Amino acid sequence: MTDRDADKRLAAAAAVDEVCDNMLVGLGTGSTAAHVIALLAERGLTIETVATSRASAALAERLGLKVRPFDAVARVHLAIDGADAIDADLSAVKGAGGAMLREKIVAAAADRMIVIADGSKRVERLHDTKLPIEILPFARAFAVERLSGLFEQLDERTGYLTDNGNIVVDGHGWNDADLPGLAEALAAIPGVVGHGLFLSEIDAAYIADNGVVTRLERGRNPR
């Protein structure tokens, strides 16, 4: 295990310590969230889960966790997920793995949403991180044209479809001076069905850096 991977597992373990019997837990997607799934399976708690991607559902089921279909679930007790970048306000960019739409829905359904990450994800500002945008294939050209006013460069992921059957365009060179304004502008484009800006969903974060775990709670963090 690399140092970075060890940090991911440490952050995951800190979040898993918040999981109790009888909880319905939202499972995130990605290499850090995979540690959560493995640790939950190891701990043998009496829990049920919902997954934010087919990959996480498959991993969880393979390791023996009970995974409920999310389409019949309105509320989750705790969601635990990774991030591509997170700042001191607990605003984050997610979606390098293309799962941001389902991740945001499960995060919104959760009483508490925790991000787990290694120290490389902690940033002063988010704008250096590519911002993934999920687009209905029907709207591809139209949405990209509308997005071009918000980004210096847009790269479509070739040959890739999300679990929802949509395309993903990664936006580079964006202005983070008004994050709520940007989120609003993205949501206002017909055909854009999701994006990786998480501004209000995250309640806490466990960031592990060289073996030391720091907990951040919304509204209570020094800059």
CB of 44 to ligand R5P, least distance (A): 24
Under the binding rule (CB under 6 A), the answer on residue 85 touching ligand R5P is: no
Strand partners, 92: 86, 198
Question: Pairing state of beta strands 212-217 and 131-135?
Answer: unpaired
Can you say how many angstroms the Cα of residue 215 is from the centroid of all Cα atoms in its chain?
17
The residue range among 27-35, 122-130, 175-183, 186-194 that interacts with ligand R5P, by the rule CB under 6 A, is 27-35
CB of 121 to ligand R5P, least distance (A): 7
d(CA 27, CA 39) in angstroms, rounded, equals: 12
Cα 219 to Cα 87, 177, 209: the distances in Å are 12, 19, 21
Tokens 């990450």 belong to residue:
117
Judge whether 179 and 51 are in contact, CB under 8 Å: no
Measured from the CB atom, is 77 or 130 closer to ligand R5P? 130
> Binding string, 55-84, against ligand R5P, x = CB under 6 A?
--------------------------xxxx
Catalytic residues: 103
Under the binding rule (CB under 6 A), the answer on residue 26 touching ligand R5P is: no
d(CA 29, CA 223) in angstroms, rounded, equals: 28
**Which residue, 109, 25, 114, is CA-closest to 75?**
109
Subset of 168-207 contacting ligand R5P (CB under 6 A): none
Burial classification of residue 64, based on how many CB atoms lie within 10 Å of its CB (0-12 exposed, 13-18 middle, 19 or more buried): exposed
Under the binding rule (CB under 6 A), the answer on residue 105 touching ligand R5P is: no
The residue from 100, 101, 107, 139 that contacts ligand R5P (CB under 6 A) is: 100
Measured from the CB atom, is 142 or 214 closer to ligand R5P? 214
The residue from 36, 51, 60, 96 that contacts ligand R5P (CB under 6 A) is: 96
Residues that bind ligand R5P (CB under 6 A): 28-33, 81-84, 94-100, 103
